Structure 1
């Protein structure tokens, strides 16, 4: 099956193996289909709350890499230089991720099923559309009223 998520400008996704992207897309698609089949607005709301708290690739790296570096520094005080090098290497890889938007650590956390913020948001907005959140945007009224209604719908 060809992916519906072809237009991504996400650097992590662009540099990840296509099989990994297809696996993540298939998961998103199955979740959205399940929600469409169930049609239960309260279940959709609970699932949206779960998605709201899901960690993305960037957050996972920003928290775990400094923790590994700190652990390496602390262990290096007692156990030798090898552990201190772990801290330096992980911080260098985090710097690479920050400068380029991707890196070996990004691919590593994606193998664990961690998604990009854009992938999480795509699923959220698909479920919000199923829930009917965007039907509240009136066709009548001026551009300002439509813009305000769209902003309110996007926040719900």
Structure 2
């Protein structure tokens, strides 16, 4: 399949190692190709509902850093031995992520395969295109051609 994911302005993708980006893109391609082969509208709709509940990178980073920060404050109140530093580091990582859109915590979460909202939305739009929500997808050609057209349409 030709390269379809051209989100070069995405700071997360630009700071993520190419191998991680390729792995995430391959997972999307595999799903969209499987749906293109089946062309089962109810299955596509069910998977779209699942995607609506998928946590994106920003949400995971925010929850993780906040939880560590609160944990550090709770432990500092009980023990007091340097646990405030844990809270400070977590808050700093969250601030860095908020200012720059990426940081060490983001890199760790990204390596676990967590996707950005743009990447999740791209898959959703490709699946909606396959389901017939858009008129730009040709009905002729094989599943691979339809999957590729759906991914390209979702980018534009």
TM-score by length of 1: 0.82
Deviation >6 Å, runs of 4+? none
> Residues 2 and 90 from structure 1, CA distance in 2 versus in 1: closer, same or farther, beyond 3 angstroms?
farther
**Residues 136-147 of structure 1 correspond to what in structure 2 (within 5 A)?**
none
Which structure dedicates a bigger proportion of its chain to helix? 1
Looking at structure 2, the residues matched to 7 and 36 of structure 1 have their Cα atoms a distance apart, in angstroms, of: 23
Question: What corresponds to 1:43 in structure 2?
Answer: 43
Aligned residues between the structures: 137
Match of 1:90 in 2: 90
Q: Which residue of 1 aligns with 2:60?
A: 60
Task: Judge conservation of contact 1:16–1:107 (CA < 8 Å) in 2.
Answer: yes
Please tell me the root mean square deviation across aligned C-alpha atoms, in Å.
1.8
| Greater relative contact order (CA < 8 Å, ≥ 6 in sequence) | 2
**1:69 counterpart = 2:83:** no
Runs of 5+ consecutive residues of structure 1 not aligned to the other structure: 137-153
Distance in 2 (alpha carbons) for counterparts of 1:95 and 1:52: 26
What TM-score comes out, normalization by structure 2 length?
A: 0.82
Does the 8 Å CA contact 2:7/2:13 hold for their aligned counterparts?
Answer: no
Please report how far the alpha carbon of residue 3 of structure 1 lies from its aligned counterpart in structure 2 after TM superposition. 4.2
5+ residue gaps, structure 2, are 137-153
